[in-house]
């Protein structure tokens, strides 16, 4: 069930950051690792190359997802913005959110990589700022390859419960004239089993009076296909198109046993329960693209877009039983959830001089959540729909952002950057029991 949304914000009209560093070989403290550095690494993918560079492991390791289908940090972020995973390809961001740059590293062949730049400091024109990681990675790829290259790997995972699950990955990439492409198919199995044991007391008596034992078992496989196309036009413009399609099927099995602990005598089982949750197939797809053109005076313009669709249906059944009696089908809960996002972003950068530049642009987004919940209770052998508060709810957000950045490279060791960002958004929630809307306009910190 969705609840009314409440947003809080802090308004900051202008933020200026000055970074003072030791004298560096170039503005932004650039470190370059070329093919000679990786000559003895015997790497297969771009990810293998990055693992050979010291001090950047946190940039290429994706956050662990606690549960299958959980959203990672990149998916939860609002729009493109100037934040994100600090990994660039030929100086440009990957126009995707669920299509994570870390995943792209696995499908790019090591033979395509000319060099890897580690940028420790702000650099104008990158459309991304250095975050807590302290660095930005730029993967520079070959303009032309004489042929394509691919790799595959197969896996067999053994779990201590005695279960074997296969998995694997197939990747291919190459170039044909001005067109470059990559493709990847991944089968990622997962299985988890957790045991929980809770003992209950009723103060002031410290002696336990009951106990609960729970087993949480989740198993399934995530199938993901990703791909990208890039084209270099004769006028100097560059266009990219990225796509991702993922389908996940898993079953949750959760048996629970309840025990009573009398003051005297052994504990005894007083009831059992079981929850079975089966997904009908979580389907998520995304398509994104960008176009960039650099003028003769070093001014540049860039536009990006992204469209995502995430559907997660589930069907849960609940059973209970008393000792010595057959299980009883008590309840069924059906959930249908859909999330959508459409984002467009464009900006123009004026290269006033080698030391000064101004960047201005905007971003528009349409976000939506549509969720429906149905609960059926077994009453006298007949399943009847239970009343729920706001069982069907739809939330829509319309958001506009503007940004203006000024960069000044004072000297080789001092870089100053000022930013002025604004946001205007409107939220609407519609449902059987909730009908509300809110609007916000503020300066972004």
Nearest by Cα to 27 from 113, 130, 114, 140 = 130
Would you say 244 and 228 are in contact if contact means Cβ atoms under 8 Å apart? no
| Position 52 confidence tier, pLDDT thresholds 50, 70, 90 | confident
Q: Which helix (H) or strand (E) holds 206?
A: strand 205-232
User: For 87-98, what is the mean pLDDT?
Assistant: 73
Task: Give residue 429's pLDDT.
Answer: 95
Q: How far apart are CA 222 and CA 227, in angstroms?
A: 17
Q: How far apart are CA 115 and CA 192, in angstroms?
A: 39
The residue count of the chain comes to 445
Q: Which helix (H) or strand (E) holds 50?
A: helix 46-50
User: For 216-227, what is the mean pLDDT?
Assistant: 89
> What pairs with residue 382 in β-bridges?
379
User: For 323-342, what is the mean pLDDT?
Assistant: 90
Task: Give residue 123's pLDDT.
Answer: 62
Among the ranges given (132-136, 263-267, 366-370), the one the predictor scored with the smallest mean pLDDT: 132-136
| Position 334 confidence tier, pLDDT thresholds 50, 70, 90 | very high
Task: Give residue 71's pLDDT.
Answer: 42
| Position 412 confidence tier, pLDDT thresholds 50, 70, 90 | confident
Q: How far apart are CA 314 and CA 372, in angstroms?
A: 11
- Torsions phi, psi for 387 (to 5 deg): -70, 135
Residue 12 has pLDDT above 70, yes or no: no
The secondary structure of residue 49, as a DSSP letter, is H
User: For 321-336, what is the mean pLDDT?
Assistant: 88
* Residue found by looking up tokens 């409440």 in the block: 6
| Position 100 confidence tier, pLDDT thresholds 50, 70, 90 | low
* Residue found by looking up tokens 């699950």 in the block: 165
Using alpha carbons, list the distances in angstroms from residue 177 to 112, 147, 148, 266. 15, 11, 12, 78
Task: Give residue 75's pLDDT.
Answer: 46
Residues in Cβ contact with 302 at an 8 Å cutoff, skipping those fewer than 6 apart: 92, 127, 290, 291, 292, 293, 346, 347, 349
Would you say 76 and 83 are in contact if contact means Cβ atoms under 8 Å apart? no
| Position 11 confidence tier, pLDDT thresholds 50, 70, 90 | very low
- Beta strand ranges found along 15-108 (DSSP E): 15-20, 30-34, 87-89
Task: Give residue 160's pLDDT.
Answer: 79
- Beta strand ranges found along 233-313 (DSSP E): 238-260, 268-279, 282-294, 300-311
């Amino acid at each position: 069930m969705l609840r009314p949304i409440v947003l809080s914000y802090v308004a900051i009209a202008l933020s200026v950051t000055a970074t003072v560093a030791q004298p560096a070989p170039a503005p932004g403290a650039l470190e370059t690792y070329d093919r000679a550095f990786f000559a003895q690494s015997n790497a297969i993918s771009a990810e293998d190359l990055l693992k050979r560079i010291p001090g950047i492991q946190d940039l290429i390791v994706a956050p662990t997802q606690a549960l299958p289908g959980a959203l990672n940090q990149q998916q939860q972020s609002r729009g493109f913005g100037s934040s994100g995973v600090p990994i660039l390809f030929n100086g440009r961001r990957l126009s995707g959110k669920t299509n994570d740059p870390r995943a792209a590293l696995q499908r790019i062949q090591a033979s395509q990589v000319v060099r890897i730049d580690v940028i420790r400091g702000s650099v104008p024109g990158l459309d991304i700022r250095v975050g807590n990681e302290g660095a930005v990675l730029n993967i520079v790829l070959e303009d032309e390859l004489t042929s394509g290259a691919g790799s595959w790997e197969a896996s067999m995972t053994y779990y201590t419960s005695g279960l074997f699950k296969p998995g694997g990955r197939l990747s291919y990439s190459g170039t044909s004239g001005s067109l470059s492409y990559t493709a990847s198919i991944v089968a990622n199995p997962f299985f988890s089993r957790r045991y929980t044991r809770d003992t209950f007391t009723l103060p002031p008596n410290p002696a336990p009076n009951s106990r609960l034992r729970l087993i949480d078992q989740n198993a399934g496989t995530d199938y993901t296909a990703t791909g990208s196309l890039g084209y270099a036009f004769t006028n100097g413009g560059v266009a990219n198109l990225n796509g991702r399609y993922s389908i996940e099927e898993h079953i949750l099995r959760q048996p629970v046993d309840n025990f009573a602990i009398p003051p005297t005598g052994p504990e005894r089982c007083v009831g059992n329960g079981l929850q079975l949750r089966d997904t009908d197939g979580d389907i998520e797809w995304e398509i994104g693209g960008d176009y960039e053109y650099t003028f003769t005076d070093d001014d540049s313009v860039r536009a990006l877009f992204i469209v995502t669709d995430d559907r997660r249906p589930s069907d849960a059944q609940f059973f209970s039983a008393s000792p010595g009696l057959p299980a009883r089908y008590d309840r069924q809960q059906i959930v249908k959830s859909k999330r959508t996002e459409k984002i467009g972003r464009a900006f123009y950068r004026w290269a006033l001089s080698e030391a000064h530049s101004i960047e201005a642009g905007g971003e528009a987004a349409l976000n939506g959540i549509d969720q429906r919940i149905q609960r059926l209770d077994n009453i006298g052998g007949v399943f009847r729909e239970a009343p729920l508060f706001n069982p069907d709810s739809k939330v829509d957000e319309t958001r506009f952002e503007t940004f203006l950045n000024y960069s000044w490279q004072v000297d080789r060791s001092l870089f100053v950057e000022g930013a002025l960002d604004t946001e205007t958004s409107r939220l609407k929630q519609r449902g059987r029991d909730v009908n509300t809307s809110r609007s916000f306009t503020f300066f972004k910190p």
